[in-house]
């Protein structure tokens, strides 16, 4: 069982992206802060819309669970390759874990109106309260994207020094982390998702290659 986990655990990164994508798509269906008061109130008056928000949060939460599992698997591989005190590995794991509550708070705030509307029939949504929550959620999201850049850079540093992962991967990680610093423009989080997918696949591929049976010379 342990060998199975060691080999396939990095694919939790792909599962994290899949769940996160679904959760984000459901949240993006909500009104924007620039929409009219009437549109905001009308959206959350619909039961199906509120259920969609609640479901989106929990799907995204599942993605965060998979992200933590991926970070644990990544830490194990990086530390084995880096050796010593594992400073870069510690940076990768620490930054990754630090980003998790930021992602979670962001989605919690983004869907807070759906939670409140579902929990109490007496709740009356104030459009400006929704705008406050939505804008705060966005900045928490930006913070998570920026913090995650340290994960990318740390993994690239270990890959360059040890050859754990291809050099092209390590080199591309440098500009990828820089792009994440501009998380305010929203699209850089796609770079983070792409990095998770590529890293997951490479870790599994490298592990599979390293344990492939070696042909025995003929007697």
The more confidently predicted of residues 27 and 213 is 27
* pLDDT at residue 66, as a whole number: 97
Average pLDDT over residues 22-45: 90
* pLDDT at residue 28, as a whole number: 84
Helix (H, G, I), strand (E, B) or coil at 29: coil
How many C-beta atoms lie closer than 10 Å to residue 14's C-beta? 19
Helices (H), 83-111: 87-110
* pLDDT at residue 212, as a whole number: 40
CA neighbours closer than 13 Å in the CB half-sphere of residue 143:
16
* 166 token code pair: 């291809």
Distance between CA atoms of 95 and 37, rounded to whole angstroms? 38
The more confidently predicted of residues 120 and 171 is 171
In this predicted structure, the answer to whether residue 144 has a pLDDT above a threshold of 50 is yes
Distance between CA atoms of 208 and 195, rounded to whole angstroms? 20
CA torsion, ordered 173, 178, 184, 188, to nearest 10 deg: -30
The model's pLDDT over 45-56, given as tens digits with 9 standing for 90+, comes to 888 988 999 999
Lowest mean pLDDT among 84-98, 107-121, 128-142, 170-184: 107-121
Q: Give Cα 194 to chain centroid, integer Å.
A: 10
Average pLDDT over residues 68-89: 92
Cα torsion 126, 185, 153, 6: sign: positive
* pLDDT at residue 216, as a whole number: 42
In this predicted structure, the answer to whether residue 198 has a pLDDT above a threshold of 80 is yes
Q: How confident is the model at residue 208 (pLDDT cuts 50, 70, 90)?
A: low
Helix, strand, coil % (nearest 5) of the chain?
Answer: 80, 0, 20
């Amino acid at each position: 069982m342990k060998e199975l986990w060691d080999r396939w655990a990095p694919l939790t990164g792909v599962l994290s992206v899949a769940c996160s994508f679904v959760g984000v798509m459901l949240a993006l269906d909500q009104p924007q802060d620039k929409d009219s008061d009437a549109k905001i109130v009308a959206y959350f008056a619909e039961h199906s819309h509120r259920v969609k928000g609640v479901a989106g949060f929990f799907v995204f939460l599942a993605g965060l669970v998979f992200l933590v599992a991926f970070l644990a698997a990544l830490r194990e591989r990086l530390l084995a390759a880096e050796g010593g005190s594992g400073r870069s590995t510690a940076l990768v794991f620490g930054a990754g874990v630090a980003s998790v509550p930021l992602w979670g708070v962001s989605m919690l705030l983004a869907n807070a109106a759906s939670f409140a509307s579902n929990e109490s029939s007496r709740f009356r949504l104030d459009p400006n309260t929704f705008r406050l929550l939505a804008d705060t959620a966005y900045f928490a999201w930006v913070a998570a994207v920026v913090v995650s850049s340290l994960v990318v850079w740390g993994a690239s540093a270990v890959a360059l020094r040890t050859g754990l992962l291809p050099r092209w991967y390590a080199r591309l990680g440098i500009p990828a982390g820089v792009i994440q610093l501009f998380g305010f423009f929203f699209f850089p989080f796609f770079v983070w998702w792409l990095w998770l997918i590529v890293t997951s696949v490479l870790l599994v591929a490298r592990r599979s290659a390293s344990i492939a049976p070696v042909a025995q010379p003929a007697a």
